[in-house]
Amino acid sequence: MGAHDGSMKKERIAWLRKWARDIKRDVIALWLAPRDPRVPWYAKVLAAAVAAYALSPIDLIPDFIPILGYLDDLLVVPLGILAAIKLIPDDVMADLRRQASEQRKPVSTGGLIAVLVIWSGGMVLAAQLIWNRL
């Protein structure tokens, strides 16, 4: 323990900050991907879905729900990003990342609408189940 532990902690924090910056950049790159003719259609679909969800101002599972609230941020979104990136040719992804680095973070109204529709449908279904039980 001592100075070595402090430097390892700083290295981990630096790595996490870089990882977070890379994730943000990749989300913007995936937001750009559906507009790029070099991206295959199936990659465009997944990239659009992942970017819409990641850029949505609200989560499908709210963060205040213990454990599950952060599960989408820590697991689902990064796995979706990795899957979408694997479907995009490396040279195209490099170009999209360069473009993303020069762009401001967009907000996905499509993602917001999708989350609201899912939540509304869930509430209607729950209300219907409760009504049928009465």
Reported as a single tens digit per residue, the pLDDT across 59-110 is: 777 777 777 777 777 788 889 999 999 999 999 999 999 999 888 777 667 7
Query: Which pair of tokens denotes residue 107?
Result: 């907000």
Average pLDDT, the chain: 84
Confidence category of residue 121, pLDDT binned at 50, 70, 90: confident
The model carries a pTM of: 0.69
pLDDT at 17 over 60: yes
Please report the pLDDT score of residue 74 as a whole number.
79
pLDDT at 112 over 60: yes
Contact 52, 108 (CB under 8 A): yes
Q: How far apart are CA 49 and CA 119, in angstroms?
A: 17
> 33 exposed, middle or buried (CB, 10 Å; 0-12, 13-18, 19+)?
buried
Number of domain units in the chain:
1
Domain encompassing residue 70:
3-133
Q: How far apart are CA 131 and CA 50, in angstroms?
A: 35
What region, left, alpha or beta, does residue 19 occupy, with left being phi > 0 and alpha being psi -120 to 50 degrees? alpha
